[in-house]
A and B are shown apart, each in its own frame.
Chain A
């Protein structure tokens, strides 16, 4: 090959490029309108909703796998894959019948044996599932569409457990997949829901594609959260992973994506100014900010020290650090349960209300015997929420006269260090920051963080007999009034013992282009009913 040949080749390639000769054919307008491009809250790093319980996995799984029941926007479980159910008078035997015509994505019918295997795997990992499993006598398939769950004692929250949207959800998979050890990841993604997972197009960290499942049989009722008719209006949903919020904002403005699940508060004003973009609260159940104190070691092994911190903390400071000046994005939370939900209560929450009394807090801290020992405070810097809260806490503790050992680290390190029960100076800790999805704080069933059964409790290992007693009361409650009474007592007991420190309730926005319609508020992004025009 000589110089002239090379030059000719380059000129030819350049010409082709300029004239579009090498370009891919432009996607037809109709095809583009049938693809919804969505930026999720995080990377879909794995796709087993029982093995990995991150919210982003749950959100993707809710498209691909259906559930027997679905919780609607009034927090009631509604039939989904189930046609009917019966329970014996003593509440110990549940018999369920599946809807006819249900199919998996490989075309096979959904049978009772698939449900039994799926529930067996789920109940080995889910907190409510574990409770049912502890009471279980047998779980069997009666015939292809009927299965029976026999318990030793009644479990009144059975339907709620099967339909709840908290991770892990009771998703129904084919038997051969559901027989995978619940502590090992599945490798086949054959679903039962309205969208199919396109494994061949999955680039973890970059893209995940879901295609409409033509043989899905939606219910006839109106959709409501995870309940009702899940009618998919687009052919494809493409999840585009964008780690950088500024890039996602620019891509949404430029029309390169259609829907961004959770724009950060700083960028929302820019999006609101754009006439092509709609912005609204995405998840009305929001989030509960928190920091947890270690009950095992001084100073927070003494309830007086924990109360001193609660007495001094200003939830407004925390919330403004997270959401900025937008007052519609936060609420004070003198309790532990999600505002605007049926069981919300402020009973016992006086310590978190009104003007903050730093002097009284200092006095109480002194009574606890605190003598200036370092307080190891873990703060993940790679999570804007924990970073913001950590800075406020450091300031608060200093004002209280505490000696703060501020450990600025990443979320992965906090995740493993918080499990250490060794003393703070030997790899352990005194406090760490986190937050809980409001959907997990609507009642005690999915609310791991409220449990106070010492060694078995969540990190910090709180012990509060009163709290545990009222958790049990809620599970035994037979109606809403009984539930509310139990939650009121639970809230008071948990605040008295300071199971953890709630730093406030905050919401976040979601944003989509105006050619997208049908976006609804919910505890997770709901893709049924969402359509897109060219």
Chain B
């Protein structure tokens, strides 16, 4: 197992290198110029050119790429063109809110979606099943920002139960941290809950047809034990896979959710950096996201061995 994990980690290196080259090339050929944004509307073309020179943006592609890779290899993601702050520090400032949002959403999804999927499969074809699947279609169809606005209107503006926006670090208390994340997590989690609930239902339906389930029922085992101990464990592989894939969905969804709820996370940092053409920040974030995604895939593969003893690496 350990050698497998090590092999997989080593295998991420060429993936990261390809991502790095791809992102750098894409940004190089994309239209837009950060020097123009910095200089402002009143600046002369000469001013813009001086700023480009001072930022090193006038150097040839290979020179720029080479110096960027050299810095990366030394653990330096560079400095933001606009803020003059290290990219790693900017990512560090934003990691907490995004991580918090993703963790709360993930927990919410597992707690809500898996039981819903199990119950829907258990009551397949009944009204309960149709209601749950109807909810899943609804959740899947509604854009994150629509759900976000609706939640903010009802729970923040009308009922005044929760804040509309912002983020409080966990260090300032569990509830202050959580109260800022409940609405965003529900908004972001809707699609995810729908997806996981449907997959859970499908996987459970297949497992519930198996002979050993019939045997368990014949032996007089309780319904809860059959569903959650015997059936769910055997249906877990596709569910774990979808939860893993869903993390990519969460990263994408976080961009919108963080804007709607004014959470200072990586999603907003990404959008701001793209709109301003802050190349070092964009490159740093994309590299980070790629790394996280590769890592999550590895974790999923490892998790398979925990839920299915037949899988060995």
Binding site for B on A (CB under 8 A): 13, 16-17, 20, 22-24, 43, 45-46, 48, 51-54, 125, 127, 166-167, 181, 183-185, 187, 203-207, 240-244, 246-248, 250-251, 253-254, 256, 382, 409-413, 415-417, 419, 434, 436, 440, 446, 448, 456
Q: What DSSP secondary structure best describes chain A's contact surface? A: loop
Q: B-side interface residues toward A, CB under 8 Å?
A: 31-33, 36-45, 47-48, 50-51, 53-54, 80, 82-85, 90, 93-94, 149, 152-153, 156-157, 160, 163-166, 168, 172-176, 178, 259-262, 264, 268-269, 271-272, 275-278
Is chain B's binding surface mostly helix, strand, loop or mixed? helix
A-B contacts besides A415-B32, A416-B33, 8 pairs, CB < 8 Å = A23-B173, A23-B175, A45-B83, A45-B278, A52-B38, A54-B40, A251-B165, A254-B156
**B85:A247 contact, CB within 8 angstroms:** no
Evaluate contact between B37 and A51: CB separation under 8 angstroms: no
Q: Give the residue among B37, B262, B264, B269 with the most A Cβ atoms within 10 A.
A: B262
Distance in angstroms from A514 CB to nearest chain B CB is 17
Q: How far is the CA of A45 from the CA of B271 in the complex (A)?
A: 13
A482 to B272, CA, bound (A): 46
Query: CB < 8 Å: which of A206, A250, A382, A436 contacts B268?
Result: A206
Interface pair A247/B261, CB less than 8 Å apart:
yes
Chain B residues with CB under 8 Å of A253's CB are: 157
Using Cβ atoms and an 8 Å threshold, which residues of chain B touch A166? 42
Contacts of B164 in A (CB 8 A): 247, 250-251, 254, 256
A519 to B87, CA, bound (A): 37
A242 CA to B164 CA, complexed, in Å: 11
Q: List 29 A-B contacts (CB under 8 A).
A: A17-B175, A20-B175, A23-B173, A23-B174, A45-B83, A45-B276, A46-B38, A46-B82, A46-B83, A52-B38, A52-B82, A54-B40, A127-B42, A167-B42, A203-B94, A205-B268, A206-B262, A241-B264, A244-B260, A247-B152, A253-B157, A254-B164, A256-B164, A256-B166, A410-B32, A412-B33, A412-B37, A412-B276, A456-B44
- Asked whether, in the complex, the Cβ of A242 is within 8 Å of the Cβ of B262, the reply is yes
Contact status A256-B42, CB under 8 Å: no
Chain B residues whose CB sits within 8 angstroms of the CB of A204 once the complex forms: 80, 82-83, 85, 90, 272
For residue A453, give the distance in angstroms from its CB to the closest CB of chain B. 11
Contact A203 B93 (CB under 8 A): yes
Distance in Å from the Cβ of A511 to the closest Cβ of chain B? 15
CB-defined contacts of B48 to chain A, threshold 8 Å: 419
Take A251-B262, A446-B42 as given contacts and tell me if A205 and B269 are in contact as well, using a CB distance cutoff of 8 Å. yes
**B41 contact from A13, A24, A412, A434, Cβ within 8 A:** A434
Name A13's closest neighbour in chain B (CB-CB).
B174
Q: Indicate which residue in B38, B41, B173, B277 contacts A448 across the interface (CB closer than 8 Å).
A: B41
Residue of B nearest to A410 (CB): B275
Complex contacts, A382 vs chain B, CB 8 Å: 275
> Could you say which residues of chain A place their CB within 8 Å of the CB of B149?
246
Residue of A nearest to B171 (CB): A24
How far does the alpha carbon of A13 sit from the alpha carbon of B160 in the complex, in Å? 25
Q: Give complex CA distance A71, B48 in Å.
A: 28
